[in-house]
Each structure stands twice: as C-alpha cells, then as structure tokens.
Structure 1
Amino acid sequence: MKIKTLIFAFTIILLTSCKTTTNTITYFQDLDNQSTAVTGKAVNYTPRIAPDDQLSITVSGMDPNAVAAFNIPLASYLAPGETHVTSTPVLHTYLVNSHGEIDFPVLGKLQIAGMTRSELIDMMTEKISAYVKSPIVTIQIRNFKVSVLGEVNKPGTVNVPNERLSILDALGMAGDLTIYGNRTNILLIRDNNGEKEYHRFDLTSAETLTSPYYYLQQNDVLYVEPNKARKGNAKYSQSGQFNVSLASTIISALSVLASLGIALLVK
C-alpha cells in the first residue's frame, strides 16, 4: 500500500513539474482562443536615420545626363588580403557623420539625422528639382542590423534587408530561443541619440504584440537571459558534474541490486 502511495505522489509531482515548465515556455499564453486580432495602438516601425548609418542614394530621371552629376559612379575596391581589384562594381554609400550630416554632390552638406527615409526622399527630391525635371530619389539604409545574444540557437548579428523587423522576426532569424532561454525577461538595448535605452519583453504575454518597442531599430541589441535551470547548472564545475553523475550511477546500481535481493528473498 505504501509503495502505491509513493508512486501516486511521484506521478502528481511529475505532472505538476511538467505543467509549470510548459507555462514558462509557451508564447502569448493570455491570448483569447476565440479572438482573431490583438487590439492596441498602431506601432510605428519606420526607423530614423542616425549617425554611422550607411545610405545608398541614387537619383534617376527622364534625362540620364541631367542626373549624372548627382550619382557617384560605381567603383571597384581591393578586398582585404587581396592583390587584385574585384571585377564587380560596388555601389557607393554615404556615411552619416557624428553630426548627422552627409556630403552630397551639388547639394553639399545635408543635415539628415532624425529623419525617416521617406522624409529624406521628399527633401532631396525638392532640392534636386531645382536642377532636374521630375527627379526620382531612391534611398536605402545599407547597414540596418540588430544583434541577438544569449540563449538563442544562432546568436550573432542579423542583417535586415528592409525597414520592418519585429522582435519575433529577429528571434526567428536567430533560430528561436533554446529551451533554457527565459521567455519572460527579454532585454532590448537601444542607442537613442547617444543615450542607452532599455526595455524588457515578456513573450508569454500578448502585451508584447502591442508594445511600442515591438518593431526594432537599426543597431538594437536583444539579450535572452538563461532561465533558472541553466543558471543552476552553471554553478557546477565539470568535476562537480562528474561527481554527481558518478554518485547517481552508484545509487542506481545499488537500487537494482536491492531490488534483486528483495525479489530473491520473496521467492
């Protein structure tokens, strides 16, 4: 009877443990199964140009000769460690300096930090229209990237081909969290005009989907901290882990021997 009681108690503990673990790894647990949309204030994901951004800017129009002065020709460069110039021309980029400026042909220095890409296109189109009829300005942020660190399957830098990148996109590109990642405390680090800005996400809550930080900016850093299980394991040295494993093996062997001895005595 005592053995049955012990087995029942062990089963209850095991099921409770599994339930607790599930509640810490399931995303957006408070979403209503009946709902089809998450309501909340619209989140603006458009990034703003900042110092150290690299921009590709091309100007086109009906008369190619008229816009030629605004376009720096494609160039070929020596790659590090190579002695021959690459045969593939590289598009020239404009580096936004520490004062938030670029030096553009004909127009000279332009103060552009803090502007969105669309705002910069409108401004440059207006200025270039004084020289060219109906110009078309195309701008792209070439070094839009975020870093994902900590308990993810593929930590590192994520290059973004467009302007829209959510926290879920970034974590997906990093291979998602490992089983040891703390899903309730994802740290976002953002450089906002030279000042560090911090925000934390709880991926088990649907509030993440309506957060003003849901969409990431260039050079953001996401850090996934380890959960309690990972932190606990890290406290043991390799020798300590070996000792625990050895002790566990010995106890298991003794349990088997004891079971065999009991079985023989019963017969």
Structure 2
Amino acid sequence: MKLKYFLFILFSGLMVACKTPKDVIYFQGIDNLSEDKLAQLSTQSYSTKITYDDLLSITVSAWDPTSVTPFNPPVYAFASQGDEPVVVSEAMYNYLVDKEGNIKFPVIGTVHVEGLTKTEISEKLESLISKYVDNPLVNVQLLNFKVTLMGDFNRPGTYNIKNDRISILDAIGMAGELQLTANRTNIMVIREADGKKEIHRMDITNPNIFESPCFYLQQNDVVYVEPIASKLKSRSSSTRNFSVASSIISTLSVVASMIFSVITLSRSNN
C-alpha cells in the first residue's frame, strides 16, 4: 500500500510540473475587454508602401485592347520566318523599383512610386495613361513580398508571401508556432523605413497586440524571438528530472513485480 501511495504522489508531482506556464498564453484577459475596446482593437489599418528594390507587376487594360498595347509588353513574338510564336519571358512584365524609387514605364518614361501604395500607383498611372487612352485600368501587384523569422520559432527562415497582407500571428502560425522557451512578451520587429532601421517590440500575451504598428508586417521585415534563459535552464532541468523519475518508476515497478512474485511463490509452496 505504501508503494502505491508513493507512486501516486510521484505522478501527481510530475503532472503539476508539466502545467502550462502563464507566459505562453496569448491575449491574456481578452475575454474581459469591453465591446468598445474590442472594436478599437479591430480597427487596425493596413497598407503596404512600395520601397526601392521592390518588384512590381503592372498591366494596363481598356475597352479597346489594342489601344493599350504600347503600355503592355507583347505576350508573343513571332519569328521572322514562319508563324510559330515564341513566348516572351515574364520578366518583361515586371518593373524593379530603383534606388531613387522610380520605375521605367513604356511610353510614359520615369515614374516615381516609392512611398505609394499599390492603389496610389494604379491611380497615378491611370492619370498619366489617360492622356493617350480613354478610361484605362491599371493593375499593380507586388511580387517579392517576404519576411524573415529568426530565433525561437519551430521553423525559422525567410518566407515569401503570396499577398501583401500578413499579421504577426499569421507569421507565427506559418513558422510552426513558437517554442516553449520563446519570450512572447518581447518580440522584436526590425523594419526599414525611409532608409533607416526601426526597432519595434511586441507582447503577444497582451491583447493590445492588435494596436501595434507591427501587427501587420511589411515587406522585408525581420522578426526575432529571443529565448528565455531561465526557462531554457528550467526546461533542461525538467527533462533531466523527468528522465530520472521515469527510471526510478521503472526500477520500482520491476522491484515490486519481483517482490510480488516471490510472495506468491512462497505462499504456493506453503
């Protein structure tokens, strides 16, 4: 009976040791926020500003497709002898923003796009092209949106984003969550704005994370999650303690089985 009590106490202690620490829980206290506060947290605005070295895909359309041909590279080029079409590289449709924040656009020439959103670029080009074409429609896409996730992620690395809207929570999910040793209260976001580096700090255990200027990441953002040294040591210690406890339990189980077998055999001989 004493052995049973000992094993029960040992297992109870292990279960308590394995409880989830409070500092790994996201959005603590969010259920206690008022509706007005929740509404404020949900009004985070988002827009991606184009910067140098961004790669843009720009297409121009109109009711008369032939009228916008000068503004769009041809989809096909025909060989000089024969009618067999040769597909043109898609790179001809793309425009790299140079160090001055400009692109070279057909017919129009140099267009400054740095600091503008995709919508603002579309409107600017539509205004310029309207001198040659009635009611043009310009579609702008950002092709090289990427973020770099470093530190205590399960899958750190550089990720290409198919659209230009990604939150810090999307990034964490994409990288397979944070490790238990990650410091969730002091996440660093390194961002470049107007040629200067900016450092932002975030606490994802606090629901105010939705108000952070870095809740939505921008292209080329670097997110670094540092480990908590004390938790790292505690985790290593817990792993060693669990291994020792498992060995003790296994040994006690074997000893108990042997004692039970000896008692049973002794009784049967008597």
Equivalence for 2:74: 73
For 1:125 and 1:175, how far apart are their aligned partners in 2? 42
Q: Deviations over 1:5-47 (max 9, x none)?
A: x99998997677555x430111111212575672326322111
Greater Cα offset, 179-188 or 30-39: 30-39
Q: Which amino acid aligns with 2:90?
A: V
| Structure 1 alignment gaps of length 5 or more | 77-85
Q: Give structure 1 regions of 4+ aligned residues with deviation exceeding 6 angstroms.
A: 6-16, 233-236
Q: Counting helix residues as a fraction of each chain, which structure ranks higher?
A: 2
Shift of 1:211: 1.3
Equivalence for 1:39: 39
1:125–1:136 Cα contact (<8 Å) kept: yes
- Taking only the aligned residue pairs, the percentage that are identical comes to 40
Distance 1:75 1:182, change over 3 A: farther
Rg larger in structure: 2
SS in 2 for 1:183: coil
Equivalence for 2:267: none
Q: 1:60-99 alignment to 2 at 5 Å?
A: 60-74=61-75, 89-91=89-91, 92-99=93-100
1:185 and 2:179 are equivalent in the alignment: no
Shift of 1:110: 0.9
| Structure 2 alignment gaps of length 5 or more | 78-85, 264-270
Q: 1:105-144 alignment to 2 at 5 Å?
A: 105-144=106-145
TM-score, normalized by length of structure 1? 0.75
Q: Deviations over 1:131-154 (max 9, x none)?
A: 001101000010011111122122
2:44–2:210 Cα contact (<8 Å) kept: no
For 1:225 and 1:105, how far apart are their aligned partners in 2? 47
For 1:75 and 1:196, how far apart are their aligned partners in 2? 43
1:30–1:204 Cα contact (<8 Å) kept: no
Q: Which amino acid aligns with 2:155?
A: K
TM-score, normalized by length of structure 2? 0.75
For 2:208 and 2:14, how far apart are their aligned partners in 1? 31
For 1:191 and 1:154, how far apart are their aligned partners in 2? 24
Q: Which amino acid aligns with 2:74?
A: P
For 1:199 and 1:66, how far apart are their aligned partners in 2? 48
Shift of 1:106: 0.8
SS in 2 for 1:103: strand
Shift of 1:195: 0.9
Shift of 1:160: 1.7
For 2:8 and 2:98, how far apart are their aligned partners in 1? 69
Equivalence for 1:206: 207
Q: Deviations over 1:150-191 (max 9, x none)?
A: 221221122222222111011111111122222112111101
